[in-house]
Structure 1
Amino acid sequence: IRGGELYYKYVGPGAGTNTSTYLVTLKLYIDCGQNDPGQLDTQVFLTVFAKPGGNQVLGKYARMSSEEFIRYDPASNPCLNNPPRDVCYRLRYYQTTIDLPNTPDGYTIAFQRCCRIEGIQNLKPPSNDFGATYSCEIPGTKLGVNATQNTSPVITTRDAVAVCMGSDFQFDFSATDEQGDSLVYQFCDAFAGGGPSNGQNCFTCPLPVPGAPPPYQALSYQSPYAGTAPMGNVTINRKTGIMSGIAPSRIGQYVVTVCIGEYRRGVLINVHRKDIHIKVSDCVPLNAVLRPDYAYCDDFNVTFKNLQINPTGSVYTWDFGDGTPPQNTMIPDGTLQHRYADTGTYKVKLKVVLAGKCVDSTTTLAKVYPGFYPGFEFDGACLYTPFEFTDTTKSRYGRPSTWMWNFGDETTEADTSHSATPNWRYNTLGFKTVQLIVGSTKGCIDTVPVTVEVKDKPDLTLPFTDTLICDIDSLQLRAIGDGTFQWTPAYNLIDETSATPTVFPDRTTTYTVTATLGTCTLSHPVQVTTHALPTVNAGPDKTIGTGGTVQLEGAAPNATSLTWTPPAGLNNPAILTPMAQPAATTTYTLTVRDGNNCQGSDDVTVTVLPDCIKVMDAFTPNGDGMNDVWIVTNNACLLRTEVAVYNRYGGLVYRNADYQNNWNGTYNGKPLADGTYYFKITVH
């Protein structure tokens, strides 16, 4: 046995209630030189175990449905010195359908067989004493996300490849998933299974029926190798499934097992396993190796190089595809720089010649489109709340078309997405490095890392938390932070969900703002202290005649500053009792401020009587034609004048509702005695 892979496809609901039907396939790798009928089974026994306890629930034979041979063709690469001629796998496929009840924990399906080939370089000898366990997992209902309807990832890559000792190589474990689940690749331990014991009814027999229950024993690796380092200085890309590196310097077979974690909406629902023996040969490669295309998106200066260092003496000839003459170099990796005159997609040819005998060549596309500016932005900051990411890449030529996100979540390997606007929910605090690999329709590709911080509460700051206003004023509060806002109480508050509401309390009030980001909240208070307006009284209204002067009687016991407006006609507008001599009737406003800078005001009106009111303060009604009547007005600017005259005892001696400047000092037709009299005049 040189490897195996057990996988399944969800067919649909089973015949019974709450059951599912799966098509289960075992792909078994057999050494092409194996002709022992005992190793070429026409059917295999699959055992189904319930998780997590490992109790057997079903055993079923799967018959061989097909087989094929895949070989590496030594003539496929004439520039490979001493090509391997024994890289060959005999693939035998076994299939059956299985109906299983849908359970919370799901199932493990396993096949066990002994024995592996002898002389495996990364296992402790004798390696042919070890058998193999090939297993797959069917998820249960407790995972949600329609887990019971899962289908295994499918690996369709070619396995018969030449791997030369001490040379750079690649081996493809990439898979596709028809349900679009995220796949994460890593090396893992190969499992032992079965054994060389005689018989067929024991777990250590060559073909256990039924198979042993999980958990399964890892193979014993030989230092410096391990299940996580099966070929030494070789790695696997966790995102692409490409194994690459420098092959071991010792020829022979190496067991390599890759586990593919299958994540659906961040939930691990399945671990798919592929176990294969890879042959390292003593070949010496001479290769012209380029990727299918290259994007040069920085400037017109382009550096080319071969992806493999060839033997000393190799001559590289580059044709840059733009009509310029080809150029040669003997630098070991063929590095050469070329400047293109314009944008475009150029077909580049590379030919490598060694000693004039061995020649290899390849082509690639050089996509020269400078002006690619990758970037992204995000919205979010809170634990357990989705961060929303948005690609902001700009491209002078073409447009962004592919995205590969790695959200830097250390708790899972499934933190990836291929959307232009993905989101991700973190469940640990701290700084995360989010990486976007973005590509354009012109082939440009670049990587953008950005650090995001995951917090347990939103950002929330207040420019002030304690302030004062006067009780007729309004104040705009302000919150700076993430998410949505809610201010309480709603008392004398406008726009309670705004970051900048307006308040006008008439008493001291503490307002609280709560910022909410998903399930995270944070609250801060701000106290608004309200002060009463200062007491101010501008005094009683005043009346003067034209040109007259009067003293205002302002009062403001707690004022720290004051002013009268308008200042015209005042001898000092900054004192409480200024002298006023307005030219016309004027309303003066007394405005004061107290120690809290609160402002109050009050008005007083100074009425200025016009010149038509000029009361004669003495007259001599003696009939001499001079001052014989009492004149109080010239009647030019009045509608009507009311007069009343009183003696010194308060007795009314004269009254007229429409006085015409004609009283001659008589009472009841008789002259009044000389003396002082008092009057009251009302003008209209």
Structure 2
Amino acid sequence: MRITLLLWLIFVGSGLTGRASHIAGGNIELVALSKPGQFQLSLNLYIDDASRGSDAIIEPSIILSVFRQRDHKLMGDYPIRLGRRLPLVYANPACARSRGLETSEVRYSGVVQFDPAAFDDPAGYYIVWEKCCRNQNVINIVRPQTEGMTYYLAFPPLLRNGQPYRNSSPVFLTPNAEYICIDKPFSLAFRATDADGDQLRYSLVTPYNDNIYKPPGYANSPANPPYRLLGWERGFSASQAITGNPALQISASGVLTVRPNRVGLYAFAVLCEEFRPQADGTLQKIGEVRRDHQILVVDCAAQVPPKPIITALNPADQSPATFCEGNFALLQTESDTNFNYQWRVNGYNLPGETKRILRATEPGEYTVLKSFAQVCTRDSVSEVFVLTLKPSHRATIDAPDTVLCVNRPVRLQANTRADFRYQWSLDGVDIPGATAAFLDAAQPGRYKLKLLSETTGCTALDSVGVTKSRLEKVVVQAITPNSPLCEGNPLTAVVSQPPTRLTYVWQRDGQPLPGLTTATIMNAQPGSYQLTVSDSSCSLTSPPALVIPRPQPVLDSLPPACAGTAGRIPLRATPAGGLFGGPGVTNAAFDPAIAGAGRHRLTYAVTNSAGCRGDTSRYVTVITVPTPNLGQSLTVLAGRSLTLQGPADPGLTYTWEPTTDLTSPTTASLTVRPAQTTVYRLTVSRGGLCPVSTDVRIEVIPNLFVPTAFTPNGDGQNDTWTFTGIGEFPQCSVRVFNRWGEVVFDAAAYQQPWDGRYQGRPVGPGAYQFIVRPGPDLPEQRGTVMVLNQDF
């Protein structure tokens, strides 16, 4: 008997440079993610590690190209990176070692974003990757060492009739690494799954070649012209890719079967098409994916190991056996060190499951493949042991919120039915008495629900985590710590361990305060305040905070005070017991002399029993008026005028009395020409306030007559320069100058009239200048006197 060894490897564009003879197969996947237009784009490659040469390099990334079906327009090149490399397990390790079989799965993957508006063509789109060349040992195609491969996936538009059209491509399951014997019936599960529940159809097709017409600058070729097909050797075709009785074929459920009649390495491809029901009940094709494969058929010994047997330990039933969902079944087979055992479910190897006992957690058709441990021969397979799930119900905890608030527990509600029994636990410990269909969780932790159906005996579990809100305490206080809550002060919320994204609702005296949405009120008015703070799960209201009104003190007004004349002025205010302040204030009295002239602000502050202070103020004006100094007395000649000058200040008011003989009785400076001796009074004030007066006596004396000529000739008539009224001016001084400025006469008291002589000799006739001052405080008189007709 001869044995056929299967190596299927998927040709999907592997990120490899050089020749691809070591690639045994591959396929593309396109899985929709939650965001519209976003996909997980992947390429799975199956590598024959035993035959991989030094020229085959696994690149860190590859590029897949997306084209539009209608006109083959390039929509974009999308690089994806190497994600994992996983060795595949052969069911018969002895044969794998003896044949040099070593296979691994290489997966490239990345998240790509398509614009749905740009991917709305009704004909759809396709993804490709090209590579050259194939393994030269393939016997069913012409010149495999020069023929390449194209990996292909077609998908529908992302928008149909303007609406999002969600779809994921079929996803092939990871195949078993297998070998089979020539002339031996062989089957291999080759199914795909579809996340959208679309109907899948399988068929064998001729693999694509690579495109020799790749446009310059393109990473991969569009299907224009259409992709070339591989050329079959004589006697081979898509329906006879592996000859035998029967030849290679695939069932509607995606299972490959063959009984080969010729050794060698074979290449073939499986097409998986997806169909979606339409509104009229018909099925419409919306996409497809192709997977390339290789199978090696070899001779081997005809010895067959005894057929293994599967029995159930738990439940102790014959096939088919049932078990509860969420539980498991224990299956066992014999144990013999001369043999290898490989467990399978639904035709697929279970990685690592080579022991005598299998812990089965999923329903399905279980088998054990048995082979010799040291000799490569045919293997044997057990009868199918079917495991099905008992009709059961899931345990479901419904919780509107899983955050534990200070002021409320978390209500956990289980799904209910008459035959259900419940047990709740917290952090792995049963809660005594917690056997109802609901639980009010008052502590944080992991809560588990154990639900027992008395009808089926099945137990279902569900759990939920309950966390404690950080919103544990809210207090309203003054923005300055340890300060009283007083009218006009800012209020703020103190939140213990504050979370983010809080909302605030204030109220005063039970009424909401619209528009206040922050943790602080800048100008609090008297009343009882409460603040409700909320996060996404909890709300907590502060205890009432009473804002105390401030005292409203009243400070009595003060009239203007006159500096220098007013004494200390007592200050009065209500309520009593406060403090006065301001310039010149000491011991509840105002001293204008200390404050000085000007407008001064006086304050009064009183603090109530709650520590809230009220303030008020008044302004007082201190007025200063300069004391005028006109002298005690002045003398003026009759008929003459005199200027009187008071203190100059634009803010002063002037009053002169009496007003007779005055030029202006209301100005600081004026001219007076009294007819007789008079006492004048000047009163200075500021707008009538703080008047200050002074008196001055102006004595009017008769006028002094100074002759302008005399004749000192001794005739007894007009011989001297005699002044009329001189007797009233005993201190009259006289000086006479000749034309050269020389003093010819000087008398401090002019009681003896000048006789026209100078140094005892008569002066010459002519004009002489004179200066006469009637008195020390009287104005001087200047003029010319003529000395006439002297004849001595």
- When the two structures are superposed, what TM-score results if normalisation uses the length of structure 1? 0.39
- When the two structures are superposed, what TM-score results if normalisation uses the length of structure 2? 0.34
Q: Max radius of gyration: which structure?
A: 2
